[in-house]
Amino acid sequence: MVGTSHFAGSRAVTVFDAEAVLSELKGFQRDAVDHVIHRFYGSADASRRFLVADETGLGKSVVARGVIARTIEQLQHDDTVDRIDIVYICSNADLAQQNLQRLNVTGNPHLAFTSRLTLLALESRRLGGTAIDGKVVNLVSFTPGTSFNNSSWRTGSKEERALLHVILNDELQHNLAQSHASRLFFQGTVRTEKSFSYCVDWIRRVLNGPVHEPILTAFRSNASSLGVLARYQRIVDDIVQDGLPTEMNVIKEITAELRGALARASVETLEPDLVILDEFQRFSHLLDPETGGDAAELAHHLFDYGHAKVLLLSATPYKAYTASTDDSDDDHYTDFIAVLSFLAGGATADLSEVKRLFEEYRAGIAAGALVADIAASLRIRLLRWMSRTERPQLGADGMLRERHITSAVPSPADLIGFAGLQLLAQELDVPIPIEYWKSIPYFGNFMENYQVSRALDQRLENAESARAIEPYLAVLNALDAEALRSYEPVRIGNGHIGNLAEDMLDSGLWKLLWLPPSMPYFEPGGPFAERGVVSATKRLVFSSWTATPTAIASLLSYEAERLTAFGSTRLTRNTADARKNLASRLNWATVDGRANAMSTLALFWPHPSLALQADPLNVARRHAGIPVRVSAFAAETDVQASFDGEAVAGQAWQAYFSTPGMVPTGLTAAHVTSALESRGTELHDDESQSSTGLRIHVDAAFDAGQAGDALSHEHVARLALHSPGNIAYRALSRLRTIPDVTTDAGLWNAAALLSNGLRSLFKRLETTLLLDQLDSTGEDYWLVVLRYCADGNLQASMDEYLFQLRSETGGIALTDDVLLQLAERAHDAVTLRPSTYRARDLADPTNSIPFTARFALRYGGKQQETESARQPEIRNAFNSPFWPFVLASTSVGQEGIDFHWWSHEVLHWNLPSNPVDFEQREGRVNRFAGHAVRKNIAAAHWQDVVASSDLNPWRVAFDAAQTAHPELGEFAPYWLYPGAAKVERQIITYPLSRDIEKVERLKDALTLYRLALGQPRQQDMLEMMQRRGVNPSQVAKLDLSPPTRDR
């Protein structure tokens, strides 16, 4: 994992009132906040460390937000604290990016990520910001992989080495020759000295002066005490005389020591008042400085600083269950006691008492005695250090439904392929377990990063041994590269992926560019009306094997693209050259200097007055008396009637732009051109002259708007209702409320950005092929786009999506900047670049087969420590209604990540080894206001929506749901809501597989494991309870929910 440092800004806070933040919390979350603050500051036996272990999906980061707010409120008048530093440490960069906005209670925009703790020096000046009337508040975030662990990659990143060069070059006052030698010393893996020099120059620009003196002083002291400065200088002088040595180990060792000294200096510069460790079980070794080595010792400089408080967040803070077959029977017990020991901070007597009570609890259950008093005593003692809230059950199974899927019996070809793998394994003298064949489609093609792949590469290095291995490769089930290039049907692979393809492709989902909304305004049409997609949700797939996500994403995406291109005369070859030769659509085309794509401009131009005049939600409300949703055609007839009597234009765009109010007052043609220009990652080759062409079109639109009276046209109602520009405008306008400080121009700018993203969507080659295939009218493409938007209720989907995006902003006031940020999030999701995966071509094993993936994607990779910058982009897109519709991953490192906005189905490709992993995996989608909850609320409260005049339908629906089920308490409606939609646990097995029995064992253990909390040899205890017929519901469970505050 990449160690990162991140400031959420320093701000002089005059008087901070936490109530504005706390008022957004649900009751159980506020109880947790109040209890944490009481244990930190309000108790005679106060604790410096506390664990919030709420069940996954219940908003531990929201609790942390409340704790931050109360901490600032507590310390702002404390004269012993000159600034308030909050340090947030989490397991990966994507989790940090997801949660930092929630934690930033001051409202300051956070600064850009640096890459690791050692680069804190680049931003450390901001820590010492000048307080005006109050105190500076800093939110600093980093991930621990390389921030605390300097031995995992000794030479670090090029940015770290460049920073070290700058510091040492200035500190030691190097001459030109020494400076050149120092650059060579730190160049490391950078290919050329010139490239490294660019990095050095960038560091100097960012620093804009000397390194902050506190860090420099601490670094100088650390490095001098180690003697590393002198050794570094000797090597530099040697390089001046003799050049770089052949043996580089000494340079690597010195670099590692210098990195360590700089990391310690950075930690010592921080003065934390609150340290938050999120999903800390991923780096629990940092808790014990005696066993965690230098990394733990470095971390404890933070934990033990002054009066700093440490807040731990984790639903699974210790190994929650240990089976008797595990290597270490007492892993759970060891982990549990280690966490308690850290929380107790040396209070050995208290810890001994907790151990004794756990022993009595176990003995009482074994003897069939009542253990309620013991459980109550444990609660009192453990609440000093930790709390845990669990969601109540809704009926027998809560919001969970289980679906068993049986894969087809392996075919003879499958079995022959397995036999071929075993022959290959024997020839290469490496094992290929049967699980590879069962779990990884076309394992021979997707074997990268496995031992067999490395062994094969060694054989291929020699021509003779390469020829000898060819017969073994020829008998494997393998992908045909030429068939893929020709868009030929390919047998999808093993039984598991066949089932997945049936659900996600045969159902017709490949025809959908976005998921149907939970609350449609119109009757779905076209491909959105097909039976298999009406109630669709995205699919999250978890596998134990790192090759499986790549195989799933590659094969499903290929098949979706093949189906899209089927029957096309425009694209018959699956190659990059074939795609380049095809002309794109929706360009700003000109002829003889005149605009020739005004219909395209109308399609993506937000028209405020028409957008409000033709709001699909209001049309649906006018037709609320009919028993079914109004059709899009009826809606168009309804709106078209308002244009009757006006003169008829020759073109729809003329009528569109002749209608008054096409832009907010004050926006000029130059401003509109700038707002509508393409931006982001998905630009097109034909956009190189777009500014000129677009400006010509915009000028023509302004001319039409000033030409005279408003005109009518038979298609103007369709444009007003269904154009992406108006859809974007309405979706964003629904977020505005009376206290907000947005402007009409700001709203239009945000809508233009979002509309531009939708233009990119409809410009894609794959989209044009799909819409060509679906269209039977022969209408112009812009009209086909309008019909598709109407069929798919794009307005309702975008309203639902923007409501979700707004809910994540932590209740900050809506401004033009915030509107633009929300539009940018949606724009980035729509325009996500495809991923390219590669499979080995077994017919030519030194080459690869490329797969362009959009429909299904992989999240994460084999090395979670090397967090890809693309993971936040993929998560952002999966949490939108747009592609990808399938996300495949391993379970590793996914704790705390949100995938629930548009998904409520989790497919367990392989069974987890631990019963609690069921909950952890499903916790990715069983979360706040998830897709299943929204579906149930929409079904129950549509009539409340149509009876209201509120422009935000989801605000109406959730408000109505708040009081509809008081028996569910404060978990409804955001976590629990009755209805047909459920979080679906999908378990896929082969016929007669041992996994079938394993499923039942895991489920039984899942029911009982909470009774075994804090117990050694848990499986023995559970088996004992089962043998004696102990009913879990009759045993007093350990309740660690925080005390309920007065409400």
d(CA 1013, CA 320): 7
| Number of C-beta neighbours around residue 405 at 10 A | 16
Spell out the domains of the chain, with CATH numbers in brackets: 6-149+271-317 (3.40.50.10810), 158-256 (no CATH), 408-578+834-922 (no CATH), 587-760+773-830 (no CATH)
Residues 744-759: what's their mean pLDDT? 97
According to DSSP, residue 173 is labeled: T
**Token digits for 322?**
């240990």
pLDDT at 890: 86
Residues with Cβ < 8 Å from 769, sequence gap 6 or more? 564, 565, 568, 570, 571
Per DSSP, what are the bridge partners of residue 530?
Answer: none
Which of 321, 345, 350, 315 has its CA nearest to residue 333? 321
Handedness of CA 540, 542, 545, 546 (dihedral sign): positive
935 and 977 in contact (C-beta within 8 Å)?
no
Residue keyed to tokens 């095809």: 582
What are the pLDDT digits (tens) for 784-806?
A: 999 999 999 999 999 999 999 99
- Ranking 288-297, 508-517, 837-846, 872-881 by mean pLDDT, the lowest is 288-297
Higher pLDDT: 150 or 360? It is 360
pLDDT digits (tens, 9 = 90+) for 630-653: 899 999 999 998 887 678 889 999
Residue 397: the pLDDT is 54
In this predicted model, what pLDDT tens digit does every residue of 591-607 receive, in sequence order? 999 999 999 999 999 99
pLDDT band at residue 89 under the 50/70/90 scheme? confident
Pairing relation of β-strands 590-591 and 594-595?
antiparallel
Tokens found for residue 747 = 């709203």
**Pair 1005, 324: CB distance under 8 Å:** no
Select the more confidently predicted residue: 206 or 752.
752
Percent of the chain whose pLDDT exceeds 90 = 53
SS3 396: coil
Q: What's the CA gap between 420 and 410, in Å, rounded?
A: 15
pLDDT digits (tens, 9 = 90+) for 1008-1021: 656 656 555 556 66
Most confident of 13-27, 706-720, 948-962: 948-962
Give me the pLDDT at residue 209, please: 86
pLDDT surpassing 60 at residue 981: yes
Instruction: Give me 837's structure tokens.
Output: 């995966």
896, 61 contact by CB (below 8 A): yes
- In the predicted model, is pLDDT for residue 827 greater than 90? yes
What angle do the packed helices 724-733 and 816-830 form, to 10 degrees? Answer: 140
Q: Is the pLDDT of residue 888 over 70?
A: yes
Residues 6+ apart with CB under 8 A from 344: 350, 351, 385
203-212, 655-664, 816-825, 832-841: least confidently modelled range? 203-212
Q: How far apart are CA 845 and CA 961, in angstroms?
A: 58
pLDDT of residue 296: 76
Q: What is the DSSP letter of 624?
A: T
pLDDT computed for residue 688 by the predictor: 45
Q: Residue 943: its pLDDT value, please? A: 94
Which pLDDT score, from 0 to 100, does residue 6 have?
Answer: 44
**Distance between CA 586 and CA 444 in Å, rounded?**
42
H or E, element range at 309:
strand 309-313
pLDDT at 646: 75
- Taking only the tens place, the pLDDT of each residue in 651-669 is 999 999 999 999 999 999 9
Cα–Cα distance between 587 and 598 in angstroms, integer?
10
pLDDT value of residue 149: 58
pLDDT in tens, 526-560: 999 999 898 999 999 999 899 999 999 999 999 99
Question: Could you tell me the pLDDT band of residue 864, with boundaries at 50, 70 and 90?
Answer: very low
627: confidence class by pLDDT, cuts 50, 70, 90: low
Q: Could you give the CA distance from residue 411 to residue 979 in angstroms, rounded to a whole number?
A: 40
Distance CA 104, CA 1040 (A): 28
Q: In what order do the strands lie in the sheet with 309-313?
A: 6-13, 135-142, 83-90, 272-278, 309-313, 49-52, 386-387
Tens of pLDDT, residue by residue over 255-301, are 989 988 888 888 877 888 999 998 887 777 788 777 767 677 778 88
Q: Which tens digit of pLDDT belongs to each residue from 155-195?
A: 788 898 999 999 999 999 999 999 999 999 999 889 899 99
What's the whole-model pTM score? 0.86
Q: Which two tokens stand for residue 622?
A: 């006018």
Is the predicted pLDDT of residue 513 greater than 60, yes or no?
A: yes
Please name the residues in contact with 387: beta carbons below 8 A apart, sequence gap of 6 or more.
32, 35, 36, 50, 51, 52, 53, 54, 1040, 1041, 1042
Neighbours of 714 (CB within 10 A): 13
The residue to which tokens 């600083």 are assigned:
305
Confidence check: pLDDT of 435 > 70? yes
566 or 6, greater pLDDT = 566
**What single-letter amino acid sits at 399?**
M
pLDDT score at 390: 85
Q: Is residue 5 scored above 50 in pLDDT? A: no
β-strand pairing of 400-406 with 594-595: unpaired
Instruction: Give the tens place of pLDDT for each residue, 321-372.
Output: 555 555 444 466 778 888 899 999 878 888 899 989 988 988 887 777 888 9
- Residue 426: what residue type? Q
